[in-house]
Amino acid sequence: MTLFVNEARIDSITMSDGARVYSFLTPQAAWKAGKNELRFEFVYAASPAAVMSGSADKRTLAAAFDWIELAPAPPAKR
């Protein structure tokens, strides 16, 4: 998955199956005052019915997010 903030490419990661927490550090210059756009690009997508036994969900999906949290970077150590 590749994360973009306001068209700036931040980083790419390989996601794993199951619940995980992923973190990205973004440069302050990527953010702007007011509304910001987060874009997630995935290499592939599939329907849950195609990959999960017993699922009838035929929507094409790439990932499920429980939450997205934005937090300021911790202060630099002195």
Q: Token match 């199956």: residue?
A: 17
Q: Which domain holds residue 55?
A: 1-14+37-65
Contact indicator for 24, 11 with CB cutoff of 8 Å? yes
Tens digit of pLDDT for each residue in 6-29? 999 999 999 988 889 999 999 999
Q: What residue ranges in 1-78 does DSSP mark as E strands?
A: 2-5, 8-12, 38-41
Tens digit of pLDDT for each residue in 32-77? 999 999 999 999 999 999 988 999 999 999 998 999 999 887 777 8
Spatial CB neighbours of 67, under 8 Å, sequence gap ≥ 6: none
- Say if 30 falls within a structural domain: no
- The secondary structure of the chain in percent helix, strand, coil, rounded to multiples of 5, reads 10, 20, 70
Task: Indicate the pLDDT class of residue 5, thresholds 50, 70 and 90.
Answer: very high
Cα–Cα distance between 69 and 67 in angstroms, integer?
6
Domains held by the chain: number: 1
